[in-house]
Structure 1
């Protein structure tokens, strides 16, 4: 697929990927693409644990949930900020309910759904406001 997209032969793409692996540029092969024909819902959740001693377990659990793309420990009594990517709003709802039902979670304080990305880590993808 990549070869067809970039207009190169499959063997050329394969060699370049192997070189990027050898150079430690590529470490993992998880690729998430939201194509135009797919719906991708990106949201940020602020999850507040019951107490500070339960934060480590909560963070450990979020690292194995595939929908949780990024997880941040927040300063103060803010808890954990989680960036999630789901195909359907029903899956977002199920994920939120999963967090709310956990014994180590006091509350899911905030849920923010991304309407339109303005700036991403790739500067070529910046959009005008």
Structure 2
């Protein structure tokens, strides 16, 4: 199996394809970078979803639909139940070595802040460094 292309390379291909001059065909961009057209197409589709250019179905939405609960959970919308945490940093923007140092600032369970800890009888100590 071949090694995946570096993210920086994929990002460059997408940037060049998106900002191409009139008359420059996507087929030529793929050839110039030495990749297949299908590879370039997949990278652009992924980048469009990642950058919010095009919507996509998340794994949570698919799971909710699979059990017939898409009206209750699976996406962040008014009126739906939400379970998530708020961290002191963006895990996608930090060095991978820093991820384990992330501090949970808040837990939302079934749409209610910190309720899971109260239900479990756990005392939550907030790390003042994260403020």
Query: Which TM-score tier does this pair reach, normalised by the shorter chain?
Result: under 0.3
Q: Which has more radius of gyration?
A: 2
Q: Provide the TM-score with structure 2 as the length reference.
A: 0.25
Higher helix share: 2
User: 1 or 2 for the larger relative contact order (CA 8 Å, sep ≥6)?
Assistant: 1
Higher strand share: 1
